[in-house]
C-alpha cells in the first residue's frame, strides 16, 4: 500500500502477495485475493505514523488459481460482514450463436 498522491510512504499488507483489494467502508479492514485463491482480510489500525496491519485471516476460497483468472470478481458489503463473489460457470459445451440470413424466404414454402 502506498500513500497518495506522493507515493513516498509504503506499507506491506500481505506476506505472500495479493490482488484485487477492497476496503471496508469504515477503512478498518482490507480484503484481497491471495495467491492461493483465498479471499483474505487484514484489519488495519490507523496511527499517527501510518497504518498498522493485524494478522491476515483467510475467509473462503473464491475459485481456482486466483492470479490466473481475470474474470473472477468480488465485493464486500459496507460493514465487511458479507462478500459477493462472481465465479465463472462451467458449461458442458460452448454456446453456439446461429445467424440465419434471408429467413423470410423460408416462410413462403
Q: Where are the domains of the chain?
A: 18-107
Q: What is the CA radius of gyration of the chain?
A: 22
Ordered per-residue pLDDT tens for the chain, 109 residues:
777 788 777 888 887 788 888 888 888 999 988 888 888 999 999 888 778 888 899 988 876 544 455 555 788 888 888 888 876 667 777 778 888 888 888 787 6
Q: Strand 73-76 relative to strand 57-61: parallel, antiparallel, unpaired?
A: unpaired
pLDDT at residue 68, rounded to an integer: 52
Q: What is the pTM of this model?
A: 0.65
What is the C-alpha separation between 80 and 105, in angstroms, rounded? 59
Q: Strand 38-47 relative to strand 29-34: parallel, antiparallel, unpaired?
A: antiparallel
What is the C-alpha separation between 28 and 26, in angstroms, rounded? 6
Which backbone phi and psi does 103 adopt, to 5 degrees? -70, -25
Amino acid at each position: 500500500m502506498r500513500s497518495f498522491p506522493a507515493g513516498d510512504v509504503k506499507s506491506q499488507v500481505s506476506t505472500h502477495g495479493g490482488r484485487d483489494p477492497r476496503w471496508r467502508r469504515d477503512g478498518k479492514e482490507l480484503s484481497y485475493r491471495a495467491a492461493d485463491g483465498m479471499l483474505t482480510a487484514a484489519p488495519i489500525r490507523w496511527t499517527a505514523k501510518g497504518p498498522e496491519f493485524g494478522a491476515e485471516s483467510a475467509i473462503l476460497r473464491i475459485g481456482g488459481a486466483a492470479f490466473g483468472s481475470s474474470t473472477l470478481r468480488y465485493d464486500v458489503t459496507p460493514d465487511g460482514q458479507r462478500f459477493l463473489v462472481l465465479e465463472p460457470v462451467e458449461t458442458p459445451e460452448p454456446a453456439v450463436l446461429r445467424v440465419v440470413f434471408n429467413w423470410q424466404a423460408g416462410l413462403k414454402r
